[in-house]
Amino acid sequence: MSPHSVSLFSIALALFAAPATAQQAAAVIAIPPLTTPDEKATGAGSPAAVAWQASQLIASDLRTTAELVPVGPDQKDYYSYPEVTAPTFSRWRAKGAKFVLTGFVRSRPDGRLTVGCYVYDTVKGRELGRTGFVVAPEDWRRAAHKCSGIAYTAATGAPGIFDTRIAYVAESGPPGARVKRIAIMDGDGNNQSFVTAGDTIVLTPRLSPKAENLAFVSYVDGQANVRIVNLASSEQRPLVAGSGGMSFAPRFAPDGRRIVFSMQAGPNTDIYVADSSGGPAQRLTAAPGIDTDPSFSPDGARIAFESDRSGNQQIYTMAADGAGQRRISFGGGWYAAPVWSPDGEWIAFARRIPGVGSRIGVMKPDGSGEKLLTDGALDEGPSWAASSHELIFQRAGPDGRPALYRVTLAGGDARKVVTPQDASDPDWSGVVD
Amino acid sequence: MRRAFLLLALMGSAASAQFPGLSRRPSAPPPPVPLLMGIDGLRAEFAAQSGSDKVYFGGDSAVLTAPARATLAAQAQWLRRHPEIIVRIEGHADPSDTRDHALAVAARRAEEVRDYLVLLGVPAAQLSTVSWGKERIAVMGASQDALALNRRAVTVLVR
């Protein structure tokens, strides 16, 4: 297939050959600079400038993963336009690269740019994936993230985590009177924006699967209650009207149409489900005690949640209609904040161990195979990356100030995610369309 | 103007000090005293006469301890004498609790205090509750003492 036919792409398109099997060790992927056909302009927003910036961003994206080690981009690795779809595999094999990503940036008559990317296995000499994107010159970052995504998927078989959004609570001010604002950024930390003004306490932002809507908890009515905001229109409304008690701990169902959450009545807190567009809430749990932090399985059939019905916080699962409630955590201490992984394989949690601290861990949905992934004193609020290979969470420092960290399922040290202010309650979206 | 209020307030407290027996007769509270003291003054008087405007809880617990019950009995006595005062009971959790469980357990603490005050004769209509979870930390630090000082319910006079 010649590169010219990619101009037919009007929206994101990815065709995958059979993905390579999961890598044991990190594999090298060569990222030679994207090329530009017959274009002389070099100013900002020109195809040549965007090609170079996009190549650097792709390498930077892939460098944040545990599975891939990017090499490049290097100006001297330039290749011609026809070579985009006919790379010289031996050249990249000689550099130790198992994969190579090629691509191009081309201007269109309407002023926008076409960005195309291809991923190849250098050993088998086979294409593993491709994507094409037509973007305004200023939106080149998203096209680059899509290219990173096909490289990641080709190497691991898992969805890429680059064209995603992260919602969190930005914090400032003294400890007793923190100013909290809902903030959203791209998966790579760019494009920071605020959703709320900071005039009232807000907690636990939760993005809908495609990051179109956001559920969060606000004290705007004097007590904690779940609100829903449409991120395009900024239209905002309460999830349940006039419940009396507080409502909190919202999370979208995988279809984005329902929300599970907690509602408190007197000393009791139970789990409810409601349409995200409004309507009455249906009660799912009725045990005396605090049932909270519900999270749907990716097929929408089951819900994991925490309950202190046994005496302290433990993790339970149940069917989506509340049937068959069953405890799955039995280690020492408290287990809180379960979150089902997008691939359905794991439930992440925060485990409080007296005298040790609060750690992030994972277990299988039947409670087996528990492993702890972090070693902070006060880690909580895990949220999965779309890949199901990584988690973002909140870690409080010795001074109590929280920051966001990422840790991979494979283990290793947690890495700090840079944010302009202190940050808590992270929530990582699925891949944005 | 302000000075006149303060003077009246002082006269008021001096008057009640001359008849201490009045406040020990729960079955027949005196008619409401006109609200002459500012809310800050009332809060100070409430805290002083009740021993504290706060009660404290054990870890992950909303059970009222004996000292907490004693404080609440004194609070109830004052509140019965001031049925015109609107009160909000604010529950708090310590920062070692997880975000959402902290909200629920702090709500439970506030509810426990409210229920106990009602049991002691404070009109329920006078009382509301709110949970601040771990959003309003009173004492920083991870020591057991610091954590214990955050697990509290505060009886806040609103107006």
- DSSP conformational letter for A290: B
Tell whether omega for the bond before A73 is within 30 degrees of 0, i.e. cis: yes
Query: Do residue A203 and residue B138 have CB atoms under 8 angstroms apart?
Result: no
Q: Which of A172, A216, A223 to mutate to test the interface with B (most CBs of B within 10 A)?
A: A223
Architecture of domain B37-157: 2-Layer Sandwich (3.30)
Q: Catalogue the long-range contacts made by A39-46 (C-beta closer than 8 Å, 24 or more residues apart).
A: A39/A106, A39/A107, A41/A107, A45/A137, A45/A138, A46/A107, A46/A137
The 10s digit of each residue's pLDDT in A377-420 is 899 999 999 999 999 999 998 888 999 999 999 878 999 999 99
Judge: domain A165-428, CATH 2.120.10.30: yes
- DSSP conformational letter for A61: H
Query: Do residue A380 and residue B98 have CB atoms under 8 angstroms apart?
Result: yes
Residue with tokens 């404070």: B122
The terminus-to-terminus CA distance of chain B in angstroms comes to: 19
Query: Do residue A262 and residue B98 have CB atoms under 8 angstroms apart?
Result: no
The pLDDT of residue B4 is: 42
Q: Is A266's pLDDT higher than 80?
A: yes
Question: Is the ipTM here above 0.95?
Answer: no
Residue A179 forms contact with B (CB below 8 Å) = no
Identify which of B103, B105, B140 has the shortest CB distance to residue A248: B103
The pLDDT of residue A279 is: 85
Residue A333, CA distances (Å) to A54, A247, A317, A325 in order: 47, 26, 18, 20
**C-alpha Rg value of chain B to the nearest Å:** 17
Name every chain A residue with its beta carbon within 8 A of the beta carbon of B112.
267
The 10s digit of each residue's pLDDT in A275-326 is 998 889 999 999 999 999 999 999 999 999 999 999 999 999 999 999 999 9
Residue of B nearest to A314 (CA): B101
Residue A308 forms contact with B (CB below 8 Å) = yes
Name every chain B residue with its beta carbon within 8 A of the beta carbon of A176.
136-138
Residues 6+ apart with CB under 8 A from A411: A373
The 10s digit of each residue's pLDDT in A372-386 is 999 988 999 999 999
User: pLDDT-derived band of residue B34, with 50, 70 and 90 as boundaries?
Assistant: low
Sign of the Cα pseudo-torsion (A135, A141, A144, A149, in order): negative
Q: Are A378 and B95 in contact, with CB atoms under 8 Å apart? A: yes
The rounded distance, in Å, linking the Cα atoms of A431 and A109 is 30
Identify which of A177, A178, A336 has the shortest CB distance to residue B98: A336
Stretch 36-75 of chain B: residues touching chain A, C-beta under 8 Å: 60, 62
The pLDDT of residue B152 is: 98
> How close A100 comes to chain B (CA, Å)?
44
Q: Is A16's pLDDT higher than 90?
A: no
To the nearest 5 percent, what fractions of chain A are helix, strand and coil? 15, 40, 45
Average pLDDT of chain A to the nearest whole number: 90
Q: pTM for the full model?
A: 0.86
Query: Do residue B60 and residue A306 have CB atoms under 8 angstroms apart?
Result: no
The fold adopted by the segment(s) A3-156 is Rossmann fold (3.40.50)
User: pLDDT-derived band of residue B33, with 50, 70 and 90 as boundaries?
Assistant: low
The 10s digit of each residue's pLDDT in B87-141 is 999 999 999 999 999 999 999 999 999 999 999 999 999 999 999 999 999 998 8
User: pLDDT-derived band of residue A9, with 50, 70 and 90 as boundaries?
Assistant: very low
- The region of weakest confidence among A71-75, A186-190, B33-37 is B33-37
Q: Which amino acid is at A264?
A: Q
The pLDDT of residue A29 is: 97
Q: Domain limits of chain A?
A: 3-156, 165-428
Q: Domain limits of chain B?
A: 37-157
Q: Which of B94, B99, B105, B139 to mutate to test the interface with A (most CBs of A within 10 A)?
A: B99
Structure tokens given for A116: 């195309």
Name every chain A residue with its beta carbon within 8 A of the beta carbon of B98.
293, 313, 334, 336-337, 350, 352, 358, 380-381
The rounded distance, in Å, linking the Cα atoms of A35 and A106 is 9
The rounded distance, in Å, linking the Cα atoms of A201 and A268 is 23
User: pLDDT-derived band of residue A220, with 50, 70 and 90 as boundaries?
Assistant: very high
For chain B, give the percent of residues with pLDDT over 90: 68
Query: Do residue B108 and residue A290 have CB atoms under 8 angstroms apart?
Result: yes
The pLDDT of residue A283 is: 96
Name every chain B residue with its beta carbon within 8 A of the beta carbon of A337.
98-100
The pLDDT of residue B71 is: 97
- The region of weakest confidence among A3-7, A95-99, A231-235, B47-51 is A3-7
